[in-house]
Structure formats: structure tokens, C-alpha cells
Chain A
Amino acid sequence: MIKIIVVGNGMVGFKFCEKFVSKSGQEKYQITVFGEEPRRAYDRVHLSEYFAGKTADDLSMSTATWYEENNIILNTSELVTDIHKENKTITTHLEKTHSYDYLVLATGSAAFVPPIEGVEKEGVFVYRTIEDLDAIMAYAKKIKQNGSTEAAVLGGGLLGLEAAKAVRDLGLNPHVVEFAPRLMPRQLDKGASNMLRSKIEELNIKIHLSKSTQYIDGENAITGMMFEEEELLKVDMLVISAGIKPRDELGRGAGLEVGVRGGVVVNNKMQTSDPNIYAIGEVALYNHMIYGLVAPGYEMADVAAEQIMQGEKTMRESIDMSTQLKLIGVEVASFGDPFIEQQEGTPIVYENKLNGIYKRINISKDGKALLGGILVGDSSDYNTLFQIYSNGMAIPKNPEDLILGARGSESSSMGSVMDLPDTAVICSCENVTKGSICCSITDGTSETLGDVVKLTKATTGCGGCKPMVVDLVKEAQKSLGKEVKDVVCEHFAYSRQELYDIVKINKFTNHNEVLGTVGKGDGCEICKPVLSSIFSSIYNDTANKHVPEQDSNDRYLANIQRNGTYSVVPRVTGGEITADKLIVLGEVAKKYNLYTKITGGQRIDLFGAQLNDLPDIWKLLIDSGFESGHAYGKSLRTVKSCVGNTWCRYGMDDSTTFAIELENRYKGLRSPHKIKGGVSGCIRECAEARGKDFGIIAVDGGWNLYICGNGGANPKHAVLFAEQVDKETCFKYLDRFLMYYIRTAGPLIRTSTWLEKLEGGLDYLKQVVIEDSLGIAETLDKEMQGLVDSYACEWTEVIESPELQKRFRHFSNSDDRDENIEFVPMRDQIMPRPW
């Protein structure tokens, strides 16, 4: 066995282990890792999410058993104190000695604390480890109880702004103090910094630039920071995030060559001045630079692993420091040389204060090359710009098209992803090139996107490259002459629309029939819910049929929540509810100790119901006149309404009544995705009807009908479908529109996306629905009426049938409950104990 000792168990140290054990021939080596922190390696890049509720385990890079499974010995809470390079041993603070054949230093860096008078005072922290974060949280809690509200972060760089967000998440008002005259001085110019500053200040984070801190004020604990000219900033906590310094003390002590300003010197093999000792990550000084980004650290880890195994790979001469990230909700990116000197090139700047967007690209003097740039507020062009820059690709004749888009013509200035050279790095976290992604498809190693991700690990880092990888895979599949078809999953070579027709024409009524006739294998979590939904749409089967093939929530007619309990949402049509019914909801919630919240769809959600209690809860509700709200189904949710002309002095018509009628007509309707509706009594639009799949607004002379809107991740306003029509016409158009959508949309496609992809778009849909251009209107009408007539409340079915109630038990062989369910108090109610 050849012995490798890795000192340091951070992200880069872990990556070294991961890269090493994935290489062939690794069985001859025994890796032992020492980490001074008490836990497994964790994701420091996302450290601030710890404040937002993530646990140490969520941030962990591996599972508890990973090291053991890969035959790596992990010693946590053990600090290596000395290296004896002459006899190739190390000693730890426990005075244990271990010998090595190769030693890898991945000790990383520590927070740089500037020599300011008073930094040792209570309430001053650095921002580096989970322990630091725990201490910050505890202190913040303490000072908040004493009425303090203000806290400062020293450092307006990347990490400093992250820390400011963390401080804000703790409920304190953050003040960012930066010595330089701008934020992120290494990445941004003045204009970009100003834009970022105004965006960040909107979030109540105060920015103090060009401030040199003279001393920390306060007796024992910090009470303020004194700047020049006697300017005092009163704060009760300070988090220092002003840069890093390499943890090179171990290498220094062993007599390895170190840089003047710190860092263990390495060559392009990651070797230090002792050929058996390697250094990687933030401790390594390569080309006179310390690289504080994770991507170069990972590449160093790979080079060191290769070198130890006698491989050829060496570190690139120049390391790119381009970054793209979301900072406190603001997109920021910088690549290449963001600043550029006048003699080398010319910047083109676009600034839009209205939208908070700043873009700068630096073009070479001859106008042919992109040398670098900065994006704030909208970094969607980053991937393309970065590829053009890093591959030295030709730029358009009007370089401004790169950031403004080609104007006055249809063609895109960017070209296609396929125009990139094969050497273009698509995923910089895992260093995956376009060539390796496309080749794995064309040489047959991979068939699908999933295969490519598994093989290359592309997209598994920050995920920013995902859209490009998806496009590349599609294009590569096409180049093989493969028809890229939207098939449901591996079990069916058909789209949802085709399956719908197959089921209907063949009158199939269960999964095995369909699988056996036109599918293969045993089905899966993708195709089973699709088929169940199709059966519902054709036969109006409720979710009490095909129970094991129903999706998670449909299976138990309730929405599964974080701790395996469920939420209960009875229908409240149009958001109208009597006092008596409100009391019933309150009583049920009280009896079963449920957390209650008003939903966005004007009804009441009761959380924390245990599986075993669901039938009893619903019995109480149904006895009081409630019915299922189908909140768990891909089906009609709610039709939201304003109060309308019955009460409102502006109302043009009775929107509430219309909403109730609509909700009652379409309740229980199973569809490719959820459907929401809204009705407003006037153009003030209090019901937000245009944010729904169908929205109706009362106007002079009738109702305006809008379709295909939604909220969610990609909000879309519904588009006008018919003007000043009467109720009857609204129902007729909606019947046909919904039925046509149900027949033809892909799984989990909302109406807005469906319309976007529908050939011929809105005009075509109008022809089908209004003019009956396909001659199917009568069929659609009939199908919808059939579904409406056969509606049944699924929960009523359950409480009337002991057989259907059987599935609502945690154990089939015991009446015991799941003893692991735990709740904690929150604002006079309960919530699940956090993960």
C-alpha cells in the first residue's frame, strides 16, 4: 500500500479524495484525511444558507458512510502540528505520528483580520466556519434581546456581501463597511458597483464606502466603529470578512518554500519544494497567486491526484477568475479582464437604472475580440459571453449586439451553442468541455441528459450551465438523426397526447393493459401518474382508483409536508365562507392541533395532520358541509374572486357568484397540471384573474375572458380571448379550451407554456374553440359535460367506505403512529422540527 495523507478536510481536500477514488488503480493507495474541524467536509460556498435554515448536514459534501465505503480513513477534530519531511512523517496535536509516501496540504485559508485596535473585543467575529456561524447566531440572539438592531460587516467583497445577507437573515440591520471606494473592488467597476449598491440598499442593507476603521469602540464588547474624522458608526456586532490568508504555517514550519505574503509555493504539478508534498486550494501559491475560488481549487485537486498516480496532467498556465453568482438576490457576473486599460481596448457600457441593469463589455482595439466584462442585475448573457471570451471567438460587427441583442432583425447575435469549439469549457465547476458532452452522446456512451450528467458530472456544481448542457445534448441527439421526441419516460415511446388518444381509442382502463400493449417494463413514478391522470380525464375516475399508481399527494388525497404529515384543504368556492363553517374549521384545527394558514387561493390550509387521522378529520368536515378542495391534485384548484357588485361600490357585475359557478363546474377536473381561475368585478382586478389559467373580468356590456396566465416561477399575464361576452359564452369557450388543453398538453405543462408551444398560437386556438375549425367542438363540449356530470367528492367516497379507509394507516400491522414525527412551537402554533 502506498500511503497518502491529506491535511485539511475542506471542499478542496474532499474533492481530492473524490477525484482520487474515481481513478483506476486507486486500490494500491491508502488515503488518510486529517481535519481540525469536528465534521465532514462541507460546502463553504453556500455557508450563508446555514442562517437561512440549512443544517450542517445539508451543507455536507458527502454522506456519513462515504469515507468508509471508499476505504478512506477520516480523522476529524485532529490537527496536524508538524511535518517531518526527512523521514516522511507527520504528528498531530494528540501526539500521534503517521508516516506517508505522499502528503497533500489542503489546509485552505483563514479569515484575514486587519490590525485594527479593538478587534479582540466581544461581539467581533470572523466568517469562515460553521462554528463561527454558531457563535454569530448566539451573539445576535443575545444582543437582540437587549434591544440592539445594528450590526456591521467589514469588507464589501463577495464574502462580505454574503455575510451581510446572513446578518440580515438573523434579523439585524446590516452595515457593510468597505475601505475601497466601491463594492467588490476586484470584480466591479464604479458603474457596476453603484448599480449593485442601489439594488442592495433597497433591501435595507446600508453601504459605507471609502471608510477606514480607526478603532473598535466599546468597553469589553463592541458598541461602534470609529472611522476617520471622528465619524462613529454605532453597531453591537461586527463580522469581519475582509479577505483570506493562506493557512501555510504547517508548510512554513516544515521548511517548504513560501511566498512573501504567504502561501506554499507550488509548480504546475501542484508539487511544493519537497517533491513528495503537494499543496492544493487556497494554501497553494501558484504563479504568485492565491486562488480563492472553488473551481481552480477543484482543478488543483485533480492535478495533484493525477500526478501522485504518475499521470501527465498539469495545471493550466493562466487560471480564469470569471464568476457568476446571485448575491442577495442580485445577479452579478464578471469575466476576463473586467477593467481594461485604454490602450488595450474600449468598453461598451449599457446602464438601465429603471431595471437595475448594468452591462459592460471590453472590446479589443481592432474590434474583433471580447476581452472581458461585467454584468449586474441580469447575467443571463454570461454563459455566451464567457464562451466567446474564453475561446477567442469572433464577435458581431456591432459588438453592442452582444449585450443589447440584435435589433431590427430576427437573427440572434449569439448563434447556437453548437458554434462553440469542442474545447469550450461548458461546466467550469467540473471542468467539462463541449466536446466531452457531445462525444458521450455521439459515441453512444450516453443516451440521455441524465446519462451525460452521471458520466461527466456537468451541472452538478453550481448548476449555472444547465441550459447549455440541455441544448448541447438535444443538438447532439439530433446530429445522430435521432428524432428528439417528447416521450413520457423509458416505458413509453409516446408523448402524453399520444397516450391519451391510445387510451381513449382502445378503451384501456388500467395501467397494466396500457403497459402490456404499448409500453415496456413496469412503469415508474413518471408514467404512472400521467396514466392515472389520463384515466381521470377520460372516465372521471377519482383518485380512489388506481391508488398505488397515483402521485404522492393524490394517493392520500392530501398534500404531504416536510415531516411526512399532511395538510388538509377543503373547498371554499370563490373564497366565500359562512361564519359557521369558519368555526368548524377552527374546531377541527383545534381538536387535531393543526397549524392553520390562509392560502393564496382564498381558502384555509390545515397542516400537520397525521395519516391515521385524515379520515376522521374529513368526516367532521364533510358532516359540516365541506368537500374535497383537490389541493393535492393536478386539477382545478380555486377560482379566486373579488366581492363584486353585491357589496363593492365600483363593481360592474357579480364576480363572486360567477366564480362559485365556475368552481363548481370544473371542480375535480384532472388535467396535465394544476388549473387556477379568477373573476374580477371590474378592471381594478382585485381577484388577480389575469394571473390565472383562466381569468374573467366584468366590463361594460359583459365579461372579458382571458386565458393561459399563471403566477409561479415564470409569471405570465393571461391573454385576451374574447371580449364582452355573456356568461354562457364564457362557459362554452372555457369547456372547449380546457378540454383541448387536457387532451393535448404534455405532463406538468401549465396552460401558458402549452399555448407558447401550440403551433399557430392564440389565433389557432381561437379558431379551434370559437370557429370550430377542427370540427371537434361538439365532442369537446360533450366530453366536458360528461366529466361535470360524473363529479364525485373523493373524500366523501373514502369516509363512506371502510375498504378505502384502510390505506390511511402508518403501519398495516399495527395501530401505532410514526413516533418520529415531532413538532416545535412557532408563533403560538406548531411547525415540524427542522431538518
Chain B
Amino acid sequence: MGTKKKIQMENILSKYESVTPQDVTVWFKAGKTSDFPADGGNCIKYKDKQIAVFNFERRNEWYACQNLCPHKMEMILSRGMIGSTDDIPKIACPMHKKTFSLKDGSNLNGDDLKIATYPVKIVEDEVLIGFID
């Protein structure tokens, strides 16, 4: 029951690993800053990856993470709501409100799920996401 999809999604999950700014080899142009709603996010496609990109205008910060919520394996994090807890910027999944730190991808509900995060930089009005492949 569903194991096929599960295995398939776990394979997909293994595609997402956090990238640190110093390791970046490719800065991918994900769009213009105006493509991303203030204090909200969108999903972008890079090769076979789905990446959620957030324009945290209130904090004057940008974040990127995998679009896949590891809880139920759905591609939906970009449709969630951003916010903060104890000043940690976070994303809440729209499905079951699991929350993850946008800084390091760790889960903030006390589960051991976590997500991969990617560096973002803004050059003029271009949004660039850092990848290593």
C-alpha cells in the first residue's frame, strides 16, 4: 500500500542536501526579485529539483529550501507560511503545519525530520540560488 510511491519519494528526498555558500559551484538564476511575493514564497525548478524560495522582506532576507515536506512527502513547502520563532526564521508546511528553520533546515516541532537549505544571493534584481551540481 503506497510503498511504491514511498520508495519513489524517498529516492527524490535523497536528491536534496543542504549546500553551504562556500561550496557553491553554480549560481542559478531563479527569477527576478519581483517574481516573489513580499513575505512569501514560490517554487522554482532547477534541473530535476524543486526549490522553495522565500522573500522574507520584513527581515530583508532571502531563503531557499527543498519544496518537499519530509513529513508526508508532498511538494508543497513553497505554499506554506513563513514566520519566526525566537527569532529563527521558519516555514510552516501548509499540510500539517510542521515547521522548519529556514536557517539550517532543522525541525522546530521536536520531530527528527529536517529539510535541505540552499544559499540565496541577490545581484541587482536577480535572485540566484547556490547549487553544487
Contacts and interface: CB of A to CB of B under 8 A. Distances in A.
A318 interface: no
Contacts of B22: none
B112 A528 contact: no
A146 B40 CA distance: 56
B86 to A, nearest CB: 8
Interface string A549-577: 10110011000101110000000000000
Which of A453, A523, A525, A816 has its CB near the most chain B CB atoms (within 10 A)?
Answer: A525
B44 interface: yes
B70 A552 contact: no
B89 A69 contact: no
Contacts of B6: 55-57, 835
Contacts of B74: 562-564, 820
B80 A812 contact: no
Contact of A66 (B40, B72, B112): B112
Interface of A: 50, 53, 55-57, 62-64, 66, 69, 450, 453-454, 490-491, 511-512, 515, 521-525, 527-529, 547-549, 551-552, 555-556, 560, 562-564, 807, 809-814, 816, 818, 820, 822, 833-835
Given A548-B39, A834-B2, A525 B44 contact: no
A813 B30 contact: yes
A812 B92 contact: no
A351 to B, nearest CB: 41
Which of B4, B76, B81, B97 has its CB near the most chain A CB atoms (within 10 A)?
Answer: B81
Contacts of B30: 812-813
Given A564-B74, A813-B35, A820-B12, A522 B2 contact: no
A528 B81 contact: yes
Given A522-B59, A525-B92, A813-B30, A548 B112 contact: no
A488 to B, nearest CB: 12
B97 A834 contact: no
B90 A524 contact: yes
A818 B52 CA distance: 13
B126 to A, nearest CB: 12
Interface string B32-57: 00011111111111000010010010
Contacts of B95: 552, 560, 564
Given A522-B84, A811-B43, A818-B50, A55 B79 contact: no
Contacts of A453: 110
B30 to A, nearest CB: 6
Nearest to A552: B94
Contacts of B38: 548
Interface string B1-25: 1111110011010000000000000
B81 A834 contact: no
Which of A55, A511, A527 has its CB near the most chain B CB atoms (within 10 A)?
Answer: A55
Given A524-B85, A564-B76, A548 B40 contact: yes
Given A552-B80, A552-B95, A564-B74, A812 B5 contact: no
A17 B79 CA distance: 36
Contact of A835 (B2, B31, B83): B2
Nearest to A555: B79
A564 B5 CA distance: 14
A521 B88 CA distance: 9
9 contacts: A453-B110, A524-B83, A548-B41, A549-B39, A812-B53, A813-B35, A813-B45, A820-B12, A820-B75
Contacts, number: 131
B79 A522 contact: no
Interface of B: 1-6, 9-10, 12, 30-31, 35-45, 50, 53, 56, 58-59, 70, 72-76, 79-87, 89-90, 92, 94-95, 97, 99, 110, 112-113
A522 B83 contact: yes
Given A63-B113, A529-B81, 14 more contacts: A55-B1, A55-B6, A450-B110, A522-B56, A523-B58, A524-B83, A525-B83, A547-B40, A548-B81, A562-B74, A564-B95, A834-B1, A835-B2, A835-B73
A309 to B, nearest CB: 22
Contact of B1 (A53, A529, A564): A53
Which of A56, A549, A811, A814 has its CB near the most chain B CB atoms (within 10 A)?
Answer: A811
In terms of DSSP, what is the predominant structure of the interface of chain B? mixed
A522 to B, nearest CB: 4
A550 to B, nearest CB: 8
A564 B76 CA distance: 7
Contacts of A66: 112
Nearest to A70: B112
A55 B113 CA distance: 18
Contacts of B89: 522
A205 to B, nearest CB: 23
B98 to A, nearest CB: 10
In terms of DSSP, what is the predominant structure of the interface of chain A? loop
Which of B12, B90, B92 has its CB near the most chain A CB atoms (within 10 A)?
Answer: B92
A833 B84 contact: no
A413 B12 CA distance: 56
A834 B43 contact: no
A807 B75 contact: no
Which of A63, A64, A551, A809 has its CB near the most chain B CB atoms (within 10 A)?
Answer: A63
Nearest to A810: B43
Contacts of B35: 812-813
A133 to B, nearest CB: 10
Nearest to A490: B85
Contacts of B10: 64
Contacts of A549: 39, 81
Contacts of B84: 521-524
A729 to B, nearest CB: 42
Contact of A69 (B31, B40, B58, B112): B112
B21 to A, nearest CB: 21
A60 to B, nearest CB: 10
Nearest to A556: B79
Contacts of A809: 42
A813 B32 CA distance: 10
A450 B97 CA distance: 15
A524 B45 contact: no
Which of B74, B85, B112 has its CB near the most chain A CB atoms (within 10 A)?
Answer: B74
A549 B56 CA distance: 12
A547 B38 CA distance: 10
Which of A69, A512, A524, A556 has its CB near the most chain B CB atoms (within 10 A)?
Answer: A524
Nearest to A521: B84
Contact of B81 (A450, A524, A811): A524
A835 B72 contact: yes
Contact of A812 (B3, B44, B86): B44
A491 B36 CA distance: 24
A64 to B, nearest CB: 7
Contacts of B75: 564, 810, 818, 820
Which of A64, A522, A563, A816 has its CB near the most chain B CB atoms (within 10 A)?
Answer: A522
Which of B70, B72, B79, B97 has its CB near the most chain A CB atoms (within 10 A)?
Answer: B79
A180 to B, nearest CB: 34
B5 A835 contact: yes
Nearest to B110: A454
Which of B1, B70, B99, B110 has its CB near the most chain A CB atoms (within 10 A)?
Answer: B1
B58 A522 contact: yes
A408 to B, nearest CB: 46
Contacts of A527: 83
Contacts of B76: 560, 564
A5 B97 CA distance: 38
A66 B111 CA distance: 11
Nearest to B96: A552
A811 B45 contact: yes
Contacts of A524: 81, 83-85, 90, 92, 99
* Closest A-B pairs by Cβ, 10 of them: A548-B40, A524-B83, A552-B94, A525-B92, A834-B2, A812-B42, A522-B84, A814-B45, A525-B81, A564-B74
B58 A512 contact: yes
Contact of A822 (B5, B41, B42, B87): B5
Given A548-B81, A564-B76, A812 B90 contact: no
